[in-house]
Amino acid sequence: MLANVFHTLFLWLPFAYHHTSNGIEWNYLTNGKTWTDLCATGKQQSPIAFDIQKTRELKSPRIYFANYNVELKGPIFIKNNGHTISMDIPATINGQPPFISGGRLRGRYLAKGLHFHWGSPNSNGSEHTINNRRYDAEMHIVHRNAKYIDIIDAAEKKDGLAVIGVLLEIVKVPIAIPTGLTKVINAVIETPMDESNTTIPAGFSLDEMIGNVDHNDFLSYDGSLTTPFCHEAVSWTVFTQILPVSFSMVSKLWKLRDRCNHPMINNFRDIQDLNNRPVYHRFGRA
């Protein structure tokens, strides 16, 4: 079984490639309720429902986003893996990887890939909720602890992974949609079916995926990956400021097809029990 786990992890990490292998099947028809045999049985599963009033103030230094402002080196690989759209994060044009440190993190975490979760024309689809509100979509930027040799090794360690969560909300007239995010979402029309992929020139940095969202105001807790095998190896950071996007942008995601050729909609996991875990809130400041 352990060999099968590693093989499956290799197929989808670090770019959230939620593939099927060795006869292991899963889907979002029940938003994760049927993953009992696939996911960890521990007490630190994700996503969770954030209640701002019940968080603990985090007084640690801000998270440092190194090389997030440097253009990525293209071409950039984008793929429909049958469960989501994922993007490989390469090194920057200066040859250095984007990484994060600081906050509650111990060490450097290298950015390896990003992917999205979304709802449907009739429902919202962020994985995390804030004060009982679910947003239209959520972007995850997955990072690996630099002290581990690869993503498979990191997924087996309590401090192996760090994920930045950005909540997306459809607004009628978004003031400024990040240029990188626009390029990536526009490219998904080239990946309509399971296993389809495309490449795009870079010309943008990771900062241009996030835009002007306040990096210093965030919620943080220890949790898991939100897809099988749901390893409890993740330090989560979810920005409290919501990123406004257009209807036309999110609707491109609704038009994608999954591995069964069904509409790829509502690809989010249900809220998991907090189990008395501490949840921290760092208020925006320098």
Tens digits of residue pLDDT in 11-44: 344 333 344 433 468 899 888 887 877 886 789 9
Catalytic one of 18, 83, 128, 140: 83
**Residue 28, domain member (yes or no):** no
Residues 161/225, Cβ–Cβ less than 8 Å = yes
Distance (Å, whole) CA 46 – CA 163: 11
**Residue 24, domain member (yes or no):** no
Q: CB-based contacts of 76: which residues, under 8 Å, 6+ apart?
A: 87, 88, 90, 184, 199, 200, 201, 202
**Residue 33, domain member (yes or no):** no
**Residue 32, domain member (yes or no):** no
What does the angle CA 171 – CA 240 – CA 135 come to, to the nearest 5 degrees?
40
**Residue 106, domain member (yes or no):** yes
pTM value is 0.92
Least confident window among 14-18, 124-128, 208-212, 234-238: 14-18
**47: confidence class by pLDDT, cuts 50, 70, 90:** very high
Q: Which residues pair with 101 in a beta bridge?
A: 64
Residues 269/32, Cβ–Cβ less than 8 Å = yes
Q: What is the DSSP letter of 81?
A: -
User: Average pLDDT over the chain, rounded to whole?
Assistant: 91
**Residue 261, domain member (yes or no):** yes
Output the pLDDT for position 40: 62
CATH of the domain at 118: 3.10.200.10
- Domain extent at residue 67: 2-19+47-282
Domain count, the chain: 1
**Residue 25, domain member (yes or no):** no
**Residue 73, domain member (yes or no):** yes
- The yes-or-no answer on residue 215 being catalytic is no
Q: Is 54 exposed, middle or buried (0-12, 13-18, 19+ CB in 10 A)?
A: exposed
pLDDT for 223-280, tens place per residue? 999 999 999 999 999 999 999 999 999 999 999 999 999 999 999 999 999 999 999 9
